[in-house]
Amino acid sequence: MKTALIFGSSGLIGNELLELILKDNNYIKIKLFVRSDLTDVNSKVEIIKTDFNNIENHKDKIVGDDCFFCIGTTRKNTPDKNEYIKIEYNLPIEVAKIAKSNSINNFIYISSLGANPNAASLYLKNKGQAEEELIKLNFSNLSILRPSILLGNRKENRVGEKIGIFAMKTLSPLFLGNMKKYKPIKVEYVSKAMLQVAQKDYQKNIFESDEIVKIGTDV
């Protein structure tokens, strides 16, 4: 029986993932690292109120088997560039280093379609640089998922993203062959794929969006 750690359980992917793990008998315990206390939680869940600016203070709690990292932000929510980089790049690396030092061998990270350390986009650049650093840590099992635009019900209103989703949905029938990875992806497929790559050895580290769909629908 395993312990899962989830960073980002209040987000679109993390919340869906939490629901899946609650029903999964392979896990006896779920640690949620959150900014605020939660109420009415399942007996399987341990809430860890977390100061993400000082993640080292929680080192003794970052212990378990499978560490799922799906924290992310936007420039709209985090206009300060340094703070944005801290969340998108520094935080996943800091968490991963602690997890590795505490003998967690399975790390699952949500990146993005188009992640590239040399990208002009700060978002894609941060994701690409984070991927590089995670690979250097030499986890026994590291899974990096690169989903396309997510289809799901967000709590926040992202107008630009909604426009992008509409455009991508319209163009989806044209995305064939190598272009399949650009199709919008249902959040349920991403969360199911996260759980699958945590439990099976797929003999690879990076999963493009079309591969995520295949794994998420094969469950």
Query: Rounded to an integer, what distance in angstroms lies between the CA atom of residue 42 and that of residue 147?
Result: 29
Sign of the four-CA dihedral 203, 72, 121, 171: positive
- Give this prediction's pTM: 0.88
pLDDT of residue 39: 72
pLDDT of residue 167: 47
pLDDT of residue 176: 53
Report the candidate in 47, 43, 66 with the shortest Cα–Cα distance to residue 58. Answer: 47
Residue holding tokens 């359980």?
9
Q: Which two tokens stand for residue 30?
A: 């779920």
Contacts 24+ apart (CB under 8 A), 134-139: 134/92, 134/93, 134/96, 134/107, 134/109, 135/205, 137/96, 137/97, 137/100, 137/107, 139/96, 139/100, 139/105, 139/106, 139/107
Q: Where are the domains of the chain?
A: 2-217
pLDDT in tens, the chain (219 residues): 899 999 999 999 999 999 999 999 999 999 999 988 777 678 899 999 999 999 999 999 999 999 999 999 988 889 999 999 999 999 999 999 999 999 999 999 999 999 999 999 999 999 999 999 999 999 999 999 999 999 976 555 545 545 454 444 555 565 555 656 668 899 999 999 999 999 998 989 999 999 999 999 986
Query: Rounded to an integer, what distance in angstroms lies between the CA atom of residue 219 and that of residue 211?
Result: 13
pLDDT of residue 165: 47
Q: Which two tokens stand for residue 181?
A: 């990875």
pLDDT of residue 183: 84
Q: Does domain 2-217 have CATH number 3.40.50.720?
A: yes
pLDDT of residue 41: 78
pLDDT of residue 135: 97
